[in-house]
Every structure is written in C-alpha cells, then in structure tokens.
Amino acid sequence: MGLDLLPGEQLGLATDTAALHAFTFRDTAVQTSGLTRNLVGAYVDPDFGMLKASLVAQLRLIANNIGQGQDNSRLEPDSIVLSLAFETPTTHYGNLNAQRFVVQELATALSADTVYRSNWRPQVIEEDLVAPHRGEITPSPFTNAVVGTDTVAPQIRIPLRMSLARTFLDAFGTDHLRDNAAFTSFFKGIKVSVENGAQAPYQGGIMYINTIGGGSKVTVYYRNLLNEPDQQRTLDLIMSSSGVRYSMVERDRTLALEPGLEAALADTTAPATTLYLQTLGGYRSALRFPDLAAHAQQGRILSKAELVVPVKGAYYPYYTPPGTLLLFRRNDGADAFLPDQLNGVTGIGGEFKTTEQAYHFNITRYVNQVMNGTLPDDGIVLVAGSAGVSANRAILCGPDHPDTPMRLLLTFTTY
C-alpha cells in the first residue's frame, strides 16, 4: 500500500541462498511416560537397523475391596488374557508380520513421580507369563475382535498362564485387593515385549497401543463353584492414565544393510548428501549457517528466510516420513523455541508436503536475530515430531545432495 506514491523505483526483492552445513548425531533418550500411547513390537530397517519397543505398565483395580466378605475358597479360573487395544487411526508403523510376544512381571515398583525415558530398563522376573505356545500372534489392527458374544475394537489378545490367574484369585478378600496402592505393591506391573529371533529387512513393525482408554488390560475369567457355578465372571486389571506406563526402546544398527548412517555418524565434518532422523531417542540432525553475518548488508532488509528440507528419493510405503518435523535451537544444553515459534512449536511450518516430498520452515525472525547479534550463531537442530509416541524415521537430502539439496532461501527487500 502506498508504493505508487514513493519517488523513484518501488522496493525491490532480491533472493539469495545461505551456506549450510549439516550433520547427523545420536539423540538422547526421550520421555515416554505419561504420554498418549505406548509402543510394542520390532522391525528391521535396511538403513537404520533393528528397532524394538517394549511396553512397561502398572495394572490397576477398577474397584476397591474386591472379594471382601465373600467365601472365595472355590474360585476357579477359566482363562486369563492380556488385551492391547490399538490406537486409532494410526495403529502401527511397519509391517504386520507375526511376532512372538513375551509378558513378564516387574520385580520393582514403578513410581508416579518418576519421568521414564526410552532407555529405562526395568527389572523383571524372568518367567514368561504367556501361555505355552500362544505367544506368536499376527496383529490385526483393522479387524474388530470378538470376545464371547461381544464385538470390541481391534486389539492384540495374548493368553496368559493359568498360574497368574490363580495368583489374582487367591488375593480375593485380602489386603492385596483393598485399593490400588496395595495392589501395585502386591503386583508391580508387567513388561510386554517381543522376541522374534532373526528378522529380515522390512519384517515386523511397531504397534501403537492405547493405554489410557481402558481397553488395554488383563482380564481374569473365572467361576465361583459355590455360587452360580455356570456363570462366568471377570476381573479386569486395567492400564489407565492414572497408572504409570512407558515405552522402552532397544536398537541394533549392525543389522542395517546400508552403510550410510554409520558413515554419517562417524564424520560430522564431511559434506552431507544425506541426513537421518529417527524418533524414540534415535537420531537428529544439526544445521549450521556459517555465512549469515555476510548477508547483513546495509541497504537490505531480510523479509523472509525459508528452510527447505527434501526427503531423499523414494521410501518404503510402510516406512513413511514423519508428518511433522520440528526445529529447535540450543539454550544451555536444552531444546528451546525459535523466536518464530510464538504461536507454538509448529507455527513455523514443518508439515510434510507429499506433492513436493519436502518440508518447509519459515525461520525469518531467527535468522534476523542471528544476523543482528541478538541470538548466538549456534545453529539449529532438526527433529522428527512425536518423538516419544511414534516409530517414524526419515532419510533427508543434505545440503550437499547433487540434485535436491536442503537449502536456506533468503529474500531481501532492497531500498
């Protein structure tokens, strides 16, 4: 507005590309407790190697004083099942091959005051609680399960040993089932993992489990032989938002077929044609802009700084790139928002554009403040979104990619 009233030529725009250095580095463990979902399963990625996730959770009573005042001497178990309800609509990452599930009892209690991270390995009792020869299961996240005469949402149903059912029934009428504080002291929780043996590349996947909706639980099916012996009864021990639950992660890069990730980690000073990102405390990428000060010339005002991050080549359809990437700067060793993120962490963009196969970020305020010395010229960090609740990974074009390089586009207004 008003440009036609100015003397001489109108304001002009000039576009430039900033120098960019980038490298991949190992992430630290991320928080996986108290989040919206948890993960279990394993897959082998030809570029990243093996990724395995285990679910660690408390089980909780849905009522207090279970069995108080009853004659429980003739309680007889029929079966006991662990149900793991799929998170919807995003149910898994990878393939849906059969996996062998293992369930173990925790040997030490979980604490609601503790932040559990992806590398936290719980102490467990070695016995596998899965019923003999019943652990190999093919996940079916798109098929409703039938339980008796009821149809329920898709879930993984793992039969457990009758000895565990007996343990819970023997606790009827005792202080162990008085309330949740007593119960989680008596039975500290479970670890659900997989033991698949050797897996081929692309085999297996990570299941996304809803642990806050009440659908993930251990159910004991039993009868009271002294009172209506033909009536089947149930005891539900649920996972919920009130209980502690987290995802534990293991990796083995030696199972990768491609050497690119190892080479990228080994030399962070080399020109980067390829960058690697992985959630769950896997890998991040650091970006440095060594010549920003040279662009701070008199007579030019930076009006836009856009970071363009292309995905490298085609990708396996079940290893899709993250829906969102995030940018942070470092502040005293911790992640900090860029000044462009006044409206939230995704206010600068970062959503995956399928038509371009790339991510775009508007980081104008950050670049301006680096150029004028308000912020230190320490660079930024590129991170896969949903780092604690997804198994996403991405292979990106680095700034030295010969065809579609990552780049920082600077648009200046000249006067």
Q: Which H/E stretch holds residue 184?
A: helix 180-186
User: Both 21 and 47 in a single domain?
Assistant: no
pLDDT over 90, % of the chain:
81
Q: Total structural domains in the chain? A: 2
Q: What is the mean pLDDT of residues 319-336?
A: 91
DSSP classification of residue 167: H
- Last residue of some domain: 201, 222, 243? 243
pLDDT of residue 346 exceeding 70, the answer is: no
User: Both 87 and 173 in a single domain?
Assistant: yes
Q: What is the mean pLDDT of residues 257-280?
A: 96
Q: What is the mean pLDDT of residues 59-75?
A: 90
pLDDT on residue 341: 86
Measured CA to CA, the distance from residue 374 to residue 368 in angstroms comes to 8
pLDDT on residue 398: 97
pLDDT of residue 3 exceeding 60, the answer is: no
User: Both 279 and 201 in a single domain?
Assistant: no
Q: Name the phi and psi angles at 186, rounded to 5.
A: -70, -50
Q: What is the mean pLDDT of residues 126-149?
A: 95
Q: What is the mean pLDDT of residues 340-359?
A: 86
User: Both 63 and 179 in a single domain?
Assistant: yes
User: Both 300 and 343 in a single domain?
Assistant: yes
Q: Which amino acid is at 353?
A: K
Partners of residue 408 on adjacent β-strands: 18, 307
Do residues 246 and 388 make contact, with C-beta atoms less than 8 angstroms apart? no
Mean pLDDT of the residues in the chain: 93
- Last residue of some domain: 193, 219, 243? 243
pLDDT over 70, % of the chain:
95
pLDDT on residue 332: 80
pLDDT on residue 294: 83
pLDDT on residue 8: 46
pLDDT on residue 9: 47
User: Both 50 and 172 in a single domain?
Assistant: yes
Domain membership of residue 261 (yes or no) is yes
The whole domain housing 234 covers 38-243
Domain membership of residue 137 (yes or no) is yes
User: Both 67 and 203 in a single domain?
Assistant: yes
pLDDT on residue 293: 83
Residues 6+ apart with CB under 8 A from 60: 180, 183, 184, 237, 238, 239, 240, 242, 243
Q: What is the CATH number of the domain that holds 387?
A: 2.60.120
Measured CA to CA, the distance from residue 126 to residue 147 in angstroms comes to 30
Q: What is the mean pLDDT of residues 397-403?
A: 96
Domain membership of residue 1 (yes or no) is no
Domain membership of residue 4 (yes or no) is no
CA dihedral sign, ordered 159, 163, 164, 166: positive
pLDDT on residue 228: 87
User: Both 135 and 102 in a single domain?
Assistant: yes
Domain membership of residue 331 (yes or no) is yes
Residues 6+ apart with CB under 8 A from 269: 23
Measured CA to CA, the distance from residue 68 to residue 313 in angstroms comes to 64
Confidence class for position 297, pLDDT limits 50, 70, 90: confident
Q: Which three-class secondary structure state does DSSP give residue 254? A: helix
User: Both 65 and 83 in a single domain?
Assistant: yes
Confidence class for position 6, pLDDT limits 50, 70, 90: low
pLDDT of residue 10 exceeding 90, the answer is: no
Do residues 209 and 53 make contact, with C-beta atoms less than 8 angstroms apart? no
Domain membership of residue 33 (yes or no) is no
pLDDT of residue 287 exceeding 50, the answer is: yes
Residues 6+ apart with CB under 8 A from 37: 87, 208, 209, 210, 211, 212, 389
Q: What is the mean pLDDT of residues 386-390?
A: 95
pLDDT on residue 69: 81
pLDDT of residue 296 exceeding 90, the answer is: no
User: Both 291 and 310 in a single domain?
Assistant: yes
User: Both 216 and 281 in a single domain?
Assistant: no
Measured CA to CA, the distance from residue 118 to residue 32 in angstroms comes to 6
pLDDT on residue 43: 97
pLDDT on residue 2: 57
User: Both 23 and 43 in a single domain?
Assistant: no
Domain membership of residue 250 (yes or no) is no
Q: What is the mean pLDDT of residues 272-293?
A: 95
Tell me, rounded to whole angstroms, the distance of Cα 271 from its chain centroid: 30
- Last residue of some domain: 210, 243, 276? 243
Tokens of 359: 């991510």
Measured CA to CA, the distance from residue 406 to residue 21 in angstroms comes to 10
Measured CA to CA, the distance from residue 17 to residue 135 in angstroms comes to 55
Tokens of 37: 């979902």
- Peptide bond preceding 46: is omega within 30 degrees of 0, i.e. cis? no
Q: What is the mean pLDDT of residues 185-209?
A: 97
CA atoms within 13 A on the CB side of 115: 4
pLDDT on residue 1: 54
Confidence class for position 169, pLDDT limits 50, 70, 90: very high
